[in-house]
Amino acid sequence: MKLTLKVVPGSSRDQVVGRLGDAIKVRVSAPPEKGKANRAVAALLAAFFELDPAAVQIVAGAASSRKIVELEGADPALVAARLASL
């Protein structure tokens, strides 16, 4: 399952904020340097969707604030429920 994200690095805390147009807005406290923010995004999404961190892969936009991530092995019903709760 793929999701489009709008990532805001350097925030005060890590959180999945909600929908922003066709994307999911995500805030991470890690700075956008040396992949730190990307690793924080993967860890946050893994916890949010109850996945192993290795199951979250950034497939596009690694150097951009707009990213496409793949959630390998994610339960579509759980993902939909989590997103609906935002």
pLDDT in tens, 14-62: 999 999 999 999 999 999 999 999 999 999 999 999 999 899 999 999 9
Task: Give the domain ranges of the chain.
Answer: 2-84
Pick the CATH number of 2-84 from 3.30.1200.10, 3.40.50.720, 3.10.20.30, 2.30.30.180: 3.30.1200.10
The label of the residue with tokens 């399952």 reads 1
Claim: this prediction has a pTM higher than 0.75: yes
pLDDT at 86: 84
Tens of pLDDT, residue by residue over 57-76, are 999 999 999 999 999 999 99
pLDDT at 15: 96
- Amino acid at site 38: N
Q: What is the DSSP string of the chain?
A: -EEEEEEETT-SS-EEEEEETTEEEEE-SS-SSTTHHHHHHHHHHHHHTT--GGGEEEEE-TTSSEEEEEETT--HHHHHHHHHT-
